Structure 1
Amino acid sequence: MKIAVTGGTGFVGRALINELTKKGHEIFILTRNGSNRENSSLITYIQWLNEGDQPSESLEGIDVFINLAGESINSGRWTKERKKKIIDSRIDATKEVLHILSHLQKKPQILINASAIGYYGISDTQTFTEKSSEFGTDFLAKTVQQWETEASKAREFNIRTVFCRFGIILDKADGALPRIALPYKLLAGGTVGSGNQWVSWIHLKDIIGGIEFTISNESIEGPVNFTAPTPVSMKEFGRTLGSVLQRPHWIPAPEFALKAALGEMSMLVLEGQRVVPEKLLSLGYSFAFENLHDALTDIY
C-alpha cells in the first residue's frame, strides 16, 4: 500500500514507519524540514506547511493517510502560549490534511487521526469505552474534542475516518515511561499523588499492531481506544515498575510538590481515567501485552 504519514519523525511515527517499511509498504512522510532524511527506497519525503508547498501533487493514489502531527503535550510547562501551540499545531495540521484530501482525485480508503483518551476527562470511578457519552471539560479534553471535530470533516469526502484515542504509551526510549522510571533507577521511586488515579496504558507494539489492524478492518470507524484491557492505579503501576526494575517503591511524590513544580501540566500524572478498548477487543484484535508486568518486563 501507499501510506502518507504526518508526524513521521515523532515517537509513534518513527516506530510505525519502521514496521510498515519492513512489510514493504511505500511511505510518504510529510515534513517541514527537508534535512535528516532516512535513506530508503520505500520512503519519500514531501514538504508541507511551508509557503508555496503543494504536497497534494505528490500524493495522488495513496491508500491510507495517517495524521500524527502535533506539538507534544510534554514539551514544557503549560503557559498560555504553550497551550495555544499545543492546540494550534493539531488544528492547523489537520486542516492542511483536509486541504490535501480535497485536492486528490482518488481519495484514500481511510484517514487515521491521532487522538487521546483525555477526551473523556478525569474520573477515579467511571470506566470509559468508545460508547461513553461523557466528555471532559479540562484543557486536554477540550483540545482532543476540537481535534476530532476538525478531523471528522474528512467524512465529507466519504473517507473512513478513525480517531485513535491513545492512552499512556509505554516504551523504553521515549514517552512518559523513562521519566516515571528515573526515580526508581535512582532508588527514589514511590507513589505519585494519591496513587488512586488510573493509568490506562498501552505498549508501543500494540499501538503499531492496533493501527495495522484498523487499516485492514474496514468495519472500524470513529473513536477507537488504544489502551490495554487492564488499566491499573498509579500505585499499582509504581509497585509493578519497581518490581520489574528490582528497585524499591517507597518515597512518595506528594501532590502539592508536583503541582508546584509542573503547574497545570501536573494533571498528566496526578489525574487519569479508566479506559478500556472495547472496539478493538470486540473485533478480535489480539493484544501482544494485556498485562502490565509482562509489558514492562518486555521493555526492560
Structure 2
Amino acid sequence: MKIIVTGSSGLLGSALVKALRDDGARVVRLVRRVPEGGDEAFWNPAKGVVEREALEGAEAVIHLAGAGIGDRRWSEDYKREVVRSRVEGTRTLAGALAGLRAKPAVLLSGSAIGFYGDTGDVAVDETAPAGAGFLAQEVVVPWEAETAPAEEAGIRVVKLRTGLVLSGQGGMMSQLLPIFRVGLGAPLGSGRQYWSWISIDDWVLAVQYILKNPEISGPVNLTAPEPVTNAEFTKTLGAVLHRPTMPLAVPGFVLRTAIGEFAEEGVLTGQRVLPRRLLDSGYTFRHTRLKEALAAVL
C-alpha cells in the first residue's frame, strides 16, 4: 500500500510514518527541500507546487503539515503564518489529488478541536457547530473547507480534529514537563477549563484504524473518552511524576503577559470534546484514563 504523508518530520508525522512502515506500507514523504531518495517527493504549498507523479498510484494521503499553533508568541505575522500554512497546503494537495488520473481512496487531513471554540463544561461531539474565536473561525473552518475539491472528486475525506497529544517526545508536554519536574506545576487560570487529551499511541492507532475503515468520513475527534479539567490534569501529572504541585493557580493575566494572545485560546479556553465517531465505529482506546496514559508515555 502506497501512502503519501505531509508533515512527516513533526511529532505526529514521525510516529505515524514509523507505524505505517512497520505495518508494511510504502510511505512517500512530501518535503519542501531537495528530496533524498525514492521515499521523498518535493512540494511547495506556498506556490501551489507538488510532484503529481509522486501522488499517482497512492491509495491514501495523510496531510499533517502546518505551522505549530503554540510554537511562538502570536504576533499578527505569525497568526497569518498559522493560517497560510494550513490553507495553502490543504488547497494545493486537495486540488492536485482531484486532478489525478488514478485518485487515492482516502485523504486524512489534519484539523483540531479548536474548531469548537470554548465549550465550557458542555461536552460536544462531531455534530457540534463551529465556535467563536481566531482558532475556530480563522484557522480551522477555512482549513477544513480546503478539502472540498478532493471530496467533490469522489475521494473519502476525513478531518482529523486532534486534541492535546500526550507524548514524552515533544508537543505541549515538552513545555510542561520541565516545570512539573521541579515541583512548580500549577493550575492555569481558573483550572476549570477542560483539556481534551489523547495519548500518542492512541492517536497513531486511531489514524491507522480510520485508514482501514471506509465507512468513516467527515470530521473525527481524536480525543480520549474522558477529558479532564486543567486542575485535574495538573494534579494527575504531578502524581505520575511523583512531584508536588503548587496550591495556587497561575492567574490568567500573568499567562497573558508571559505568552501573549495564545494564552487566551490555547490555555485558558477549554473544549470538552468526545470521540463519538470513533466509539460508534467500534474503535477501542488503549488509554481511556489520564493517569494510565501519562504513565505510558512518560
Q: In 2, Cα distance between the equivalents of 1:99 and 1:200?
A: 32
Following superposition, the deviation at residue 241 of structure 1 comes to 0.3
Following superposition, the deviation at residue 221 of structure 1 comes to 0.6
Instruction: Map 1:149-168; keep pairs closer than 5 Å.
Output: 149-168=145-164
TM-score by length of 1: 0.94
> 2:190, 2:249 within 8 Å by CA — same for their partners in 1?
no
Q: 1:252 to 1:62 in 2, by over 3 A?
A: same
Q: Does 1:146 align with 2:155?
A: no
Aligned length: 294
Structure 2 equivalent of residue 262 of structure 1:
259
Amino acid aligned to 2:57: G
Q: In 2, Cα distance between the equivalents of 1:96 and 1:118?
A: 23
Structure 2 equivalent of residue 18 of structure 1:
18
Q: In 1, Cα distance between the equivalents of 2:146 and 2:54?
A: 23
Q: In 2, Cα distance between the equivalents of 1:146 and 1:123?
A: 20
Structure 2 equivalent of residue 191 of structure 1:
187
Q: In 2, Cα distance between the equivalents of 1:10 and 1:52?
A: 21
Q: Does 1:27 align with 2:23?
A: no
Aligned sequence identity (%): 37
Structure 2 equivalent of residue 253 of structure 1:
250
State the SS of the aligned residue for 2:146: helix
> 2:48, 2:92 within 8 Å by CA — same for their partners in 1?
no
> 1:189, 1:252 within 8 Å by CA — same for their partners in 2?
no
State the SS of the aligned residue for 2:260: helix
Q: In 1, Cα distance between the equivalents of 2:107 and 2:208?
A: 13
Q: In 2, Cα distance between the equivalents of 1:261 and 1:54?
A: 39
Following superposition, the deviation at residue 79 of structure 1 comes to 0.9
Following superposition, the deviation at residue 206 of structure 1 comes to 0.8
Structure 1 equivalent of residue 283 of structure 2:
285
State the SS of the aligned residue for 2:4: strand
Q: 1:253 to 1:52 in 2, by over 3 A?
A: closer
Following superposition, the deviation at residue 193 of structure 1 comes to 1.0
Amino acid aligned to 2:193: Q
Following superposition, the deviation at residue 153 of structure 1 comes to 2.7
Following superposition, the deviation at residue 270 of structure 1 comes to 1.1
Q: In 2, Cα distance between the equivalents of 1:136 and 1:283?
A: 25
> 1:8, 1:14 within 8 Å by CA — same for their partners in 2?
yes
* 118-127 vs 82-91, greater mean Cα deviation: 118-127
Following superposition, the deviation at residue 263 of structure 1 comes to 1.4
Structure 2 equivalent of residue 7 of structure 1:
7
Q: In 2, Cα distance between the equivalents of 1:210 and 1:152?
A: 23
TM-score by length of 2: 0.95
* 146-155 vs 11-20, greater mean Cα deviation: 146-155
Following superposition, the deviation at residue 90 of structure 1 comes to 0.5
Structure 2 equivalent of residue 82 of structure 1:
78
Q: What per-residue deviation string (whole Å, max 9, x for no partner) do you get for residues 251-270 of structure 1? A: 53221100111111103111
Runs of 5+ consecutive residues of structure 1 not aligned to the other structure: none
State the SS of the aligned residue for 1:48: strand
* 99-108 vs 65-74, greater mean Cα deviation: 99-108
* C-alpha RMSD of the superposition: 1.5
Q: In 1, Cα distance between the equivalents of 2:275 and 2:121?
A: 17
Instruction: Map 1:92-241; keep pairs closer than 5 Å.
Output: 92-132=88-128, 134-142=129-137, 143-241=139-237
> 1:3, 1:28 within 8 Å by CA — same for their partners in 2?
yes
State the SS of the aligned residue for 1:169: strand
> 2:50, 2:92 within 8 Å by CA — same for their partners in 1?
no
Q: In 2, Cα distance between the equivalents of 1:53 and 1:278?
A: 36
Q: In 1, Cα distance between the equivalents of 2:206 and 2:227?
A: 17
Q: What per-residue deviation string (whole Å, max 9, x for no partner) do you get for residues 126-148 of structure 1? A: 1110111x321211112101101
Amino acid aligned to 1:2: K
Following superposition, the deviation at residue 75 of structure 1 comes to 2.2
Runs of 5+ consecutive residues of structure 2 not aligned to the other structure: none
